[in-house]
Structure 1
Amino acid sequence: MASEISSQTVLFVTVDEYLEVATAARNDGFDQLVDLTAVDYLSYPGARIRPADVKPERFEVVVQLINHTSRERLGLRVQVPADEPIAPSLFDLWPGCENLEREVFDMFGIEFAEHPDMSRILMPEDWIGHPLRKDFAVGDVPVQFSEASAPR
């Protein structure tokens, strides 16, 4: 399903369609993946712009592509279910997305199948949980900054 958002074409795809649509975009000249991130809509289920016939899921992977020849931008928005947060990796199409996919995995817990190194990139390897999920408990552990000045 295509939509026009902020004068940019955005394709809303399912996880099953994701790799096929991304491959078609690459073959159509979208030679640069500019950004890949995710959104957790757990606390804001109705707060997204999407066509009415797109079934919303808790997570959405958001990809921005550029075609330098035509100077067009293309957005891909992929609905990822919470009970199986796995999407295909785009590494074979755009190797530069390796760290972006790892960051989404680390922060949101969305895995990318066939990724060459699906490991944490920002948090320690022994960290439990995914800090950008809306259900991640924050504020439970006090953090002391060594450069902080003493309270007056």
Structure 2
Amino acid sequence: MTFFEITDLLTAQFDQGLTANTQNPQPYLTVPTERLVELCQFLRDDERLFFDLLACVTGIDNGPEVNTMEVIYNLTSIPYEHNLTVKVVVPRNAEKNRLPSVPSVAHIWRTADWHEREAFDLVGIHFENHPDLRRILLPTDWVGHPLRTDYQEEEQYHGIKTK
């Protein structure tokens, strides 16, 4: 199934809020955050699509100037050999001192567990209803999220120079 066929099917099912972008070499579908779980469940369960593999979840910080973050999901249907990229865009700092928040899809694809924890750890995106959202690559007492564009590295970590 092509990107356009998948997009037509999803647009018919989820009549509003989906935006297709075909300007890039890899087209993608932007989904409202509040429709993400419903859409992902459909992508996995619908027999015409059967996206059985969540290959990657990527968190991107667009910086304080743009004031948004993105979460990108790369999906594959192994038996049908088609792919889809889905993106959600969230405000960078929805509320003061709170991380941007996206619903977890770990209950749909088990691989999301690790990927969401990585995005939380490095970029600082909170995944609502994640079964075990804690740091996965950095120590538990690490301050901040190092892949944020405004990250300020500490001079020392437990007496070890970091710079």
TM bin, normalised by shorter chain, reads: 0.7 to 0.9
Out of 40, 47, 60, the position equivalent to 1:39 is 60
Question: What root-mean-square deviation, in Å, do the aligned CA atoms of Structure 1 and Structure 2 show?
Answer: 1.9
TM-score (norm 2): 0.73
Secondary structure (helix, strand or coil) at the match of 1:95 reads coil
Count of residue pairs brought into register by the alignment: 132
Residue in 2 that maps onto 1:75: 85
Partners of 2:89 and 2:140 in 1: CA distance: 27
Residue in 2 that maps onto 1:103: 118
Please tell me whether the aligned partners of residues 9 and 73 of structure 1 are also in contact (alpha carbons under 8 angstroms): no
Which segments of structure 1 move beyond 6 Å, counting only runs of 4 or more? none
Residue in 1 that maps onto 2:133: 118
Letter in 1 for 2:68: R
Residue in 1 that maps onto 2:74: 64
Which segments of 5 or more consecutive residues in structure 1 lack a partner in the other structure?
Answer: 46-56, 145-152
Q: Kindly provide the CA deviation profile for residues 12-64 of structure 1, in whole angstroms up to 9, marking residues without a partner as x.
A: 0121121112112112311100000111111674xxxxxxxxxxx51000110
Which segments of 5 or more consecutive residues in structure 2 lack a partner in the other structure?
Answer: 1-18, 95-99
TM-score (norm 1): 0.78
Kindly indicate which of the two structures has a greater share of residues assigned to helix. 2
Larger RCO (alpha carbons 8 Å, 6+ apart): 1
Q: Flag the 1:73–1:123 CA change in 2: closer, same or farther, 3 A.
A: same
Q: Flag the 1:44–1:75 CA change in 2: closer, same or farther, 3 A.
A: farther
Q: Kindly provide the CA deviation profile for residues 87-135 of structure 1, in whole angstroms up to 9, marking residues without a partner as x.
A: 1111111011111100100111111111110001111111111111001
Out of 17, 38, 49, the position equivalent to 1:20 is 38
Secondary structure (helix, strand or coil) at the match of 1:37 reads strand
